[in-house]
Structure 1
Amino acid sequence: MTSLTPRQVKAQQTKKRILEVALELFSKKGFDQVTVDEIVSASNTSKGAFYVHFNSKYEIFLEKFKEIDDFYENFIETLPKDMKCSEKIMNLVKSQMLYLRDDLGRDLLRTVYMSALIPNQPKTLSNTDRKLFKIIHSIVQEGQEKGEFTNHFSVKEITMLITRCMRGTLYDWLIFNDENFDLIEESQKFLRPIIVSIQNEK
């Protein structure tokens, strides 16, 4: 493996600093209230350095979503191969909610949802090319091939149902803003009837 040059290491450190500072500012002030100039100033970098790594402030979110998707991909590899597909989905959703609650947080996630409504911006939350969608799709496909899930619905339809359930639970968590709202418990409660409805009767 080729080691990085000091210049490449410095570039990576700069990108990481810009990313972390920008996310913190978005969380505190809201996406629309933060400018690139403010990110540059707070991260003690230059505008040129910012645009070397990001085309716009929205790309900060895209970078964060890559990290989140990597988490999903790594998590699914830890599950036993012989685990039922329904259990894989339930475990994946549980891990997702824990990760988003503890690592991203309500304030930043609220900003992500609000930013998804901005015209002419990439629709990351609904992008079916994301790793999360592909992971769910592959589990559903496996479930159908093994006869665990019904073929009355297409793999794509079931995948959309499950991912819509995930987004809906997160959305409720954000709009209710209730400290008693247990994100993990509610996600499982919301998802369970969907899983039951797609399972083949024994």
Structure 2
Amino acid sequence: MPRKNSRNTKGRIIAAAWKLFYEQGFEETTIEDIVYESETSKGSFYHYFKGKDELMGTLANVFDEKYEQLMVEMDPGLDAMEKLIYVNHELFSMIDGGVSMDLLSRLLSTQLLARGEKHLLDRSRTYFKVLRQIISEGQRRGELRTDWTVNEVVNAYALWERALLYDWCLCGGEYSLVDYTDRVTPMFLESYRTSGRD
């Protein structure tokens, strides 16, 4: 994951940690490794995190950075369905090629067991803002049905993506996440298209 010069200290720590988790594995990565890679200090690390385990919940931040990047790179001429398919493909390509299944499984299991904050459901995340923007624009343009509210479609889409990730982890990655989602996501989204469109 590319480093940005303007990234804040917490962001640098998160990016460095996930890079190392992928390259070395979670167990083999030390806090010292993360501090060195992020060019920060132990004091900075402990200011933001109690320990390495607390970084598990920050994968959502890495995903959100990818969404911010995609919104800049995405062709504005795409319709809402094409935009949703595009962001799904790009994020899942990043996961398939840059996030170990062990780490993703840990993240998903921590979310199931969490009593407090569930990062994947945090509606203030960039992920949900991007989805709301694409879907509300699609409804305004008459591309997506309006008998469902924007939030109902966003929730269904987010549920769909979580289901794909859980199943991929549950099956031990025995199939390509990207190939599978490229085939089934357009079929799932078709039910939200305005009737009468080709």
- TM norm structure 2: 0.78
Q: Where does residue 66 of structure 2 map in the other structure?
A: 71
Q: Where does residue 174 of structure 1 map in the other structure?
A: 169
1:123-181 per-residue CA deviation (whole Å, 9 max, x = no partner) reads 011222111111011100000000000111011111111111111111111001143x1
Against the structure 1 CA distance between its residues 54 and 18, is the aligned structure 2 distance closer, same or farther, given a 3 Å change threshold?
A: farther
User: 1:15·1:53 contact (CA, 8 Å) conserved in 2?
Assistant: no
Q: Rg: which structure is higher? A: 1
Alignment of 1:10-159 (within 5 A): 15=13, 19-20=17-18, 23=21, 27-29=25-27, 39-40=30-31, 48=43, 50-159=45-154
Against the structure 1 CA distance between its residues 101 and 111, is the aligned structure 2 distance closer, same or farther, given a 3 Å change threshold?
A: same
Alignment of 1:173-192 (within 5 A): 173-179=168-174, 181-192=175-186
Against the structure 1 CA distance between its residues 20 and 189, is the aligned structure 2 distance closer, same or farther, given a 3 Å change threshold?
A: closer
User: 2:80·2:137 contact (CA, 8 Å) conserved in 1?
Assistant: yes
In structure 1, what is the Cα distance between the partners aligned to 2:22 and 2:76?
38
Moved more, 189-198 or 161-170: 189-198
How many residues of Structure 1 are paired with residues of Structure 2 in the alignment?
186
In structure 2, what is the Cα distance between the partners aligned to 1:119 and 1:51?
21
Against the structure 1 CA distance between its residues 184 and 198, is the aligned structure 2 distance closer, same or farther, given a 3 Å change threshold?
A: same
1:99-146 per-residue CA deviation (whole Å, 9 max, x = no partner) reads 111111211111111111233342011222111111011100000000
In structure 1, what is the Cα distance between the partners aligned to 2:132 and 2:17?
30
- TM norm structure 1: 0.76
In the TM superposition, structure 1's runs of 4+ consecutive aligned residues that sit over 6 Å from their partners are 44-47
Q: Flag structure 2 segments of 5+ consecutive residues without an equivalent.
A: none
In structure 1, what is the Cα distance between the partners aligned to 2:35 and 2:155?
42
Q: Percent identity?
A: 20
SS of the aligned residue for 1:116 comes to helix
